[in-house]
Amino acid sequence: MKKIIYWMVVGCFTITILGCSVTATTDEDKPSAGQQAFEKNSKSVMDYINAWENEDVDYDRFFAQDYESWGTAFGDSDTTRLEQMKESNQRLFNAYDFKVVTDPINLLPGVDNDTKEIDGSVRVYYEWAITKTATDSTEAKTGNLKMYQAYVFNDEGKITLHLTYGDFGGLLDYLNSED
């Protein structure tokens, strides 16, 4: 009788262990392709934000050649292409210093418009401190701006679409005012 009980306990224990290991490796427990892409693309977004803050952006690393950004400010219906963005960024880097003040930056997965499944795009909520550098006749001036940005990636992990929401125009008006 002791042998029967022994073998029943060993058998139950073995089934429990095997059952747990099978359960731990099911497809339900594995991240979806969209979740995996989001994790990879989130790292790219953080690297891009750091590069922007350091004013040292390797555009070929981060952006696809068919990149575009849609205007989100009032009355702005323009689409910006990669070369235009590079020129605009250089003007901004020459006039302002950028520092992220949010710690940690809030990265969230985006979803496919039709399926509502995670699709690898990245949404970002964070705050910048933007400083207009001092000149011979003016002092440095800083303003903070809370922003929401969305990044859409291609299959190669490069940004194809970038949207920015925040009153950047209002901040620039403030930084460039005589007050």
DSSP per-residue codes, 35-75:
HHHHHHHHHHHHHHHHHHHTT---HHHHEEEEEEEE--STT
Structural domain boundaries, residue 162: 31-175
Same domain? For 98 and 123 the reply is yes
**What is the structure's pLDDT at 137?**
87
Return the higher-pLDDT residue of 23 and 78.
78
27-57: per-residue pLDDT in tens? Answer: 677 889 999 999 999 999 999 999 999 999 9
Same domain? For 128 and 167 the reply is yes
For residue 10, pLDDT beyond 50: no
Total tally of structural domains belonging to the chain: 2
Same domain? For 12 and 98 the reply is no
Average pLDDT, the chain: 87
Sign of CA dihedral 166, 99, 64, 39: negative
Same domain? For 50 and 79 the reply is yes
Residues paired with 48 in a beta bridge: none
43 is written with which tokens? 């790292």
CA dist 87 and 46 (Å) reads 22
**What is the structure's pLDDT at 77?**
78
For residue 22, pLDDT beyond 70: no
66 is written with which tokens? 């068919």
For residue 151, which of 107, 89, 104, 103 has the smallest C-alpha distance? 107
CA dist 143 and 164 (Å) reads 17
Q: What is the model's pTM?
A: 0.80
Same domain? For 11 and 91 the reply is no
**What is the structure's pLDDT at 104?**
93
Cα angle 110-111-114, degrees, rounded to a multiple of 5:
155
Same domain? For 81 and 104 the reply is yes
Same domain? For 37 and 114 the reply is yes
- CATH number, position 119: 3.10.450.50
Same domain? For 40 and 72 the reply is yes
Return the higher-pLDDT residue of 178 and 172.
172
For residue 59, pLDDT beyond 90: yes
Same domain? For 12 and 38 the reply is no
Whether 139 contacts 145, CB under 8 Å? no
For residue 174, pLDDT beyond 60: yes
Same domain? For 110 and 137 the reply is yes
Same domain? For 117 and 153 the reply is yes
CA dist 16 and 23 (Å) reads 10
- Average pLDDT (72-83) is 86
Whether 106 contacts 98, CB under 8 Å? no
Phi, psi of 140 (to 5 degrees): -65, 150
Same domain? For 2 and 53 the reply is no
- Which DSSP symbol is given to 133? P
